Chains A and B, each alone.
Chain A
Amino acid sequence: MIVIGERINGMFKMVRKGIQEKDKKIIQDIAKKQVEAGARILDVNVGPAAADDVAAMQWLVETIQEVTDTPLSIDSAKPPVIEAGLKACKKKALINSTTGEQAKLETLVGLAKKYNAGLLGLCMDEKGIPDNIQARVEIGLRILACAMEAGIPTDDIHLDPVVLPVKFGQAQTPMMFQTIRELKTLSDPAPKTVVGLSNVSQGCLDRPMVNRIALVMAIANGLDEAIVDPMDKDLMNSMITAELLLNKFIYCDSYLTAYMKAL
């Protein structure tokens, strides 16, 4: 499992403070802690924290790269902000994200090609999030086809079945699991599957519990990557144990410690 750390997001109070006061230490501490906790990619999202989000993205990327060479996921709804992040990245980055909406898709595929970046695609389009598996998979295929035409390898495409809060749409979660399975059959090599996990527990009383069980179930359905809070130790341990049960690595009594050392 590839863990994408979600903590560098202007939505969070400390990060907002870091961005607004240009306090590198705040951002760098969060980056380092996530890497130590097992994140292999760090998501970077300016959020609502800055008026000039292009400059803020560039500053964030440069600030993080001063303390870690972990690859970054450049997260924004605006292509110019994404491009500013990609330009500053020293390592191969991940674009987070496109949808199946044609104009947006073409722009972001163009950026992925130009900067040799991976591309995360949400299985939704201008009409919204389909409420059936088939339509979501079709959007996934559309994203994949567009990227392939541009010469992007299929395993550089990361498809997200779209996670909705269980509290507000219970029928959506089984659909999400099934979609993960279907997306893996779209090409050879298969696209990667990814979820922005925490959305599943929006509004729930025990969010960590819902998050970790959802993650384990998604892993059992073939999930490759998840955008999560790696500092949630129970979540990480559940994830590692799920992978153990799927025979993804060799057991030993200290397998939780071993997993971190093996990274």
Chain B
Amino acid sequence: MPVAKLLEKWTGSVNEVAIGATASEGGTRSKVVKLGGQNTLPFLTEEGTIPNPPSIAMEVVDMVNPEWPSALTEPFKDVINNPAKWAKKCQDEYKADAICLRLVGAHPENKNTSVADVIKTVQEVKSAVSIPMIIWGCGSAEKDNQLFPAISQALKGERCLMGTATQDNYKVLAATCIADGHNIIAESPLDINICKQLNILLLDMEMPSNRIVIFPSTGPLGYGFEYSYSIMERTRLAALGGDKTMAYPMIAVVSNESWKTKEAKAPESDMPMWGKAAERAIMWEATTAIGFLLGGSDMLIMYHPKAIELTRKYMQQMMKT
């Protein structure tokens, strides 16, 4: 006897957020990347539609972490000290959907790069690539609040994705994004209640609901991944169940989170039983990425081209079946 498939029917859907603006929309990007819009769980195309499969942004930093293993620096060794060239390589050779420029160097405890120098880097990256841009602050609330108004102005019209806004520091970034037409990343520390609260605070400031992307924080594989996963899953279930305050696309930072782990960094001489260091590090990033895709990420930020290749292959396979 044939058994009827039990299919879930959801009432809600995820808001669609567009990153990047072409000339006809007032920007200079060659394409627009759209996140969200689905009314079903990841890859479950029989239960709903997924108009925009997840995309991958490649991360470029303005200050390289000296602890990075050679497996990570190898593909970028000719460009690693020049964010603009690095970004162009990601676009031209590795076909990144977007570039995420992380301003690590601007942090007061790092190089404490001046606002003017940061703007210079931002402009260079903007000119070097034509794909949409994500600008990720340095993480110091005070410094980010100096940086973002200037960056936002410099990129006005480009409809970037900028972050992060947190529960304790969201006003400057939100006002800036609203004024200059950018999208915002709402970050919460692996806490679904704060995630929802921050969305409400942003909506109260009249941030348009099609310009918010949730960053629920990333716990990489082996280091709290399951917390991230369960929070993302609950967020998405709430959205599909009709809670409009949770119906935003989600972004995951796979890049620096997975390359920070011992499994990605430990040299073969320390851990001979773990196999080839380069392979395991790349697999760690790819596996973390795939986990996040299953958790509901609409955009992944990644580093290594090989890990990206593996993740893309998986994504294509899953979208086909």
B contacts with A: majority SS? helix
Interface size on A, residues (CB 8 A): 11
Q: Are A262 and B197 in contact (CB under 8 A)?
A: no
Q: Are A249 and B238 in contact (CB under 8 A)?
A: yes
Q: Are A250 and B246 in contact (CB under 8 A)?
A: yes
**CA A262 to CA B194, docked complex, whole Å:** 16
In angstroms, how far is the closest chain B Cβ from the Cβ of A234? 21
Q: Is A103 an interface residue (CB 8 A)?
A: no
Residues of B contacting A263 with CB < 8 Å? 244
In angstroms, how far is the closest chain A Cβ from the Cβ of B168? 13
**CA A263 to CA B197, docked complex, whole Å:** 16
* B221-257 interface (Cβ within 8 A of A): 234, 238, 242-246
User: Mask for B170-195, Cβ within 8 A of A = 1, else 0?
Assistant: 00000000000000000000001111
Q: Is B156 an interface residue (CB 8 A)?
A: no
Of A252, A253, A254, A263, chain B has the most CB atoms within 10 Å of the CB of A252
Specify which of B195, B200, B238 is in contact with A261 (CB 8 Å cutoff).
B200
In angstroms, how far is the closest chain B Cβ from the Cβ of A91? 16
Q: Is B196 an interface residue (CB 8 A)?
A: yes
Q: Are B192 and A250 in contact (CB under 8 A)?
A: yes
In angstroms, how far is the closest chain B Cβ from the Cβ of A221? 22
In angstroms, how far is the closest chain A Cβ from the Cβ of B8? 14
Q: A262-B242, A262-B245, A263-B244 are in contact. Are A250 and B193 (CB under 8 A)?
A: yes
**CA A261 to CA B74, docked complex, whole Å:** 49
Specify which of B194, B196, B242 is in contact with A258 (CB 8 Å cutoff).
B196
Q: A257-B200, A261-B200, A261-B203 are in contact. Are A252 and B244 (CB under 8 A)?
A: no
Q: Are B193 and A262 in contact (CB under 8 A)?
A: no
Q: Are B234 and A252 in contact (CB under 8 A)?
A: no
Q: Are B196 and A250 in contact (CB under 8 A)?
A: yes
Q: Is A168 an interface residue (CB 8 A)?
A: no
What residues of chain A have their CB less than 8 Å away from a CB belonging to chain B? Answer: 249-254, 257-258, 261-263
Given contacts A250-B192, A252-B197, 8 further A-B contacts (CB under 8 A): A250-B193, A250-B243, A252-B193, A252-B194, A252-B195, A253-B193, A254-B200, A262-B246
Of all A-B residue pairs in the complex, the 3 with the closest CB atoms, nearest first, are A252-B196, A252-B197, A262-B243
